Amino acid sequence: MSQVFESKKEAAGANGTAAVVVSVQPVLSTSTSTPEPAAVSKSSSNEATRTTDAETTTATETATPNPSLPTNTTTTTTTNDISTPTLRETTHIAIIGGGIIGLITALGLLHRGIRVTVYERASKLTETSAGFSFSSGARQAMSHTSPRVREAFRKVAAPNPYPFIRYFDGFTPGVEEPLWQIPAERPDYHGCLRAAFLEALGAEVVSAGGEGVLRFGMNLEGFEEIPDQAEGEEGKVRLTFGDGSVVDVDAVIGCDGIKSRTRQLLLGEDDPAALPGFTHMVAYRAVIPLDAVVAAMGEDKGYSHCLHVGPGAYTVTYPIANNTLSNMILFSKTSTPWPDANKLLASCLRSTAQDAISSWKPDIRSLIDLLPETPSKWAMFDMSAHPAKSYTRGGRVCVAGDAAHASTPFLASGAAMGVEDAAVLSTVLETALAKPDTSKAGEKGAAISAAFRAFSALRLERSQMVVRYSREVGEMCMWQNEEVGRDPERCFQEIWRRYSDVWESDIGEMVEGARRECLALLEGEKSIS
């Protein structure tokens, strides 16, 4: 991919630093997954009319012919005049973790007639009220997973109504024009409250799988893979929970987040990849009435997706909840070690966040003044220092989402990677479990193993690329990257390249590639991994 850059020097600020306003018209050389955007105007005007693709997605559903098949109901296929259920219809999969990715994965499997139970350690579905957003590619992955996922998101999400995602200098006096701006139609972000999306997904899971599909208060302590028995009995995975209960299932998908117990058990607690590492970056997050943000920053910035960059920190604001609220985040670098790796959230005083940008422009300082008196401070952990070598061990257990590849949020793609995981897992399990269940020992285990190995082979490189890129983008936006420093044009080139690698992925081809990989493994051909 190449880019056509255009820049001009603006008047120097008080410290003699001149801003470079960079506009870009990307020239796509190979990708067909994202339409070529129109040229970007240097004007900061955001007047435009755009439409949502919530009702116009063209993603091809890869579901079974009978997507409405209810859970716990066994249908049969006819092979040589003998009615036999498929492996898909006799398989029970446990999903560890009832967060957003766990529920999306559950809906993908239920959509294909695979029985699932979601085990969540909390007493109910819980999520912070922070907002987040999904690009058009992530929403295509939702559609490939299940129409119920896309419908749940449509109910709670709102598009960014303005045509550009703009980056401003939040520090240098006198520099007011955007440093650079990205056509919003490229990622086409739609934002929502995490809690609202989780609630909508939970309702869809119960509707598709019945009341027993969600189990609460289930804190995973261990698992044991029980091998196939000589007398023909299929192997299982035996789960043990904190309340003393024991459950046998055919397979396990760990979606239990950045502190994943499933990952620790799968890799072994001595494996460096078993635990995430602290990035020495923290985030102060809040959902604020949009009117208050507009009052602090003006309508032009308040109603759009804006980032303000500067030394050691940067801010992100964008509208959510049908343009009634704003998701506001202040990211900040810190030299202080995080006190407890088991707790990623701590309370602090608002003054702590204010101190991080005490020398910034007045409008940005007034934005931080909108934080509650005791805001939450989030530690940014990720898997960049010690990435997992595989998301499965070749058996009946795998990890997905943050449990597999926890990322910082600087590329706005961590959750999207989890949605892509769900689409791929649903596809490979549907493919591997399609043949009739002959009750032959080892047959189901081999199919599940092939599916999980195909999933890992297809997802490892891309998901870990996002972990690495996200960390780098955060450093660039905080002027902490030695390679680009404070050079706006150089910084933009490097950030744009990383975003483009994420946005230009062909989701449909990814899913079909996973299907082909799974079939190759089932047929004994060499894996691409």
> Catalytic site residues?
285, 318
How many degrees, rounded to 5, is the angle at CA 39 between CA 299 and CA 10?
A: 60
Two structure tokens written together for 207: 């509707």
Number of CB atoms found within 10 A of residue 96's CB? 30
Q: Which residue has the tokens 């590619």?
A: 137
Q: Is 117 helix (H, G, I), strand (E, B) or coil?
A: strand
Number of CB atoms found within 10 A of residue 49's CB? 6
Rounded Cα distance, 502 and 505, in Å: 6
- Asked if 252 contacts 223 with a C-beta cutoff of 8 angstroms, the reply is yes
Going by their DSSP bridges, the two strands 251-254 and 397-399 should be labelled as: parallel
Going by their DSSP bridges, the two strands 251-254 and 92-96 should be labelled as: parallel
Q: Which amino acid is at 355?
A: D
Residues 6+ positions from 128 with CB-CB distance below 8 Å: 194, 195, 285, 376
Of 159, 167, 165, the residue nearest 46 (C-alpha): 165
Find residue 284's DSSP bridge partners. Answer: 330, 377
**CB-count exposure of residue 526 (10 Å: 0-12, 13-18, 19+):** exposed
- Asked if 300 contacts 161 with a C-beta cutoff of 8 angstroms, the reply is no
Instruction: Please state, in angstroms and as integers, the Cα–Cα distance from residue 377 to each residue in 258, 332, 352, 471, following that order.
Output: 16, 10, 9, 18
Rounded Cα distance, 320 and 129, in Å: 11
Residues 6+ positions from 42 with CB-CB distance below 8 Å: 6, 8, 21, 23, 177
Q: Which residue has the tokens 């989780």?
A: 198
- Asked if 503 contacts 138 with a C-beta cutoff of 8 angstroms, the reply is no
- Asked if 220 contacts 209 with a C-beta cutoff of 8 angstroms, the reply is no
Q: Which amino acid is at 235?
A: G
Do you know the residue count of the chain?
Answer: 529
Rounded Cα distance, 107 and 207, in Å: 10
Number of CB atoms found within 10 A of residue 432's CB? 27
